[in-house]
Amino acid sequence: MRLLSIFLFSFLFSFSTTSAQTIRLIPIPGSEVSFEMVLIPGGTFSMGTDATGKQVKVDSFWMGRYEVSYEEFALFYHRELDTDTTLHPSGNYRVDAVTRPTPQYM
């Protein structure tokens, strides 16, 4: 049990020291809100059971360090209030589960 505790502590400590070197603060234009992004290093892992598992390669990617706050969410939920139309002159935004949240369920 003690060995497991030492292993978990060292694992968490090593993650926190390496992630501190790969953090970016991404401001949201036109607001005072910003995202703190952490680089998740890529690698390979075994997906599935031992009998049917296969090696999967995942590229590095950026992920928000904290949960999305209400202020951050509101900027996307009320997207029709956006006055910057340089990226989408027609006003039509392509929505997917990664780049913009879906409407709240009522």
> pLDDT tens-digit profile of 30-82?
778 888 899 999 999 888 888 888 999 999 999 989 888 887 787 767 666 66
Q: Helix, strand, or coil here: 19?
A: helix
What six digits make up the tokens of 59? 């590229």
Q: What is the rounded CA–CA span in Å between residue 60 and residue 56?
A: 13
C-alpha 99 chain-centroid distance? 10
Looking at the 3D structure of the chain, how many domains does it have? 1
- pTM for the model: 0.47
Contact of 83 with 30, CB cutoff 8 Å: yes
**In-domain check, residue 5:** no
Residue 100 lies in a domain: no
The CA dihedral of 78, 80, 84, 90, to the nearest 10 degrees, is 150
Establish if 62 belongs to a structural domain: yes
Place of tokens 């999305």: 68
Q: Is residue 102 part of a domain?
A: no
Using only the alpha carbons of the chain, give its radius of gyration: 19
101 confidence band (pLDDT: 50, 70, 90): low
- Which range marks the domain in which residue 23 is found? 19-45+56-85
Classify residue 12: in a domain, yes or no.
no
> Which residues is 62 bridged to in the sheet?
39
3 in a structural domain: no
Res. 11: pLDDT tops 60: no
Asked whether residue 6 is domain-assigned, the answer is no
CB-based contact 75:68 (threshold 8 Å): no
In this structure, is residue 103 part of a structural domain? no
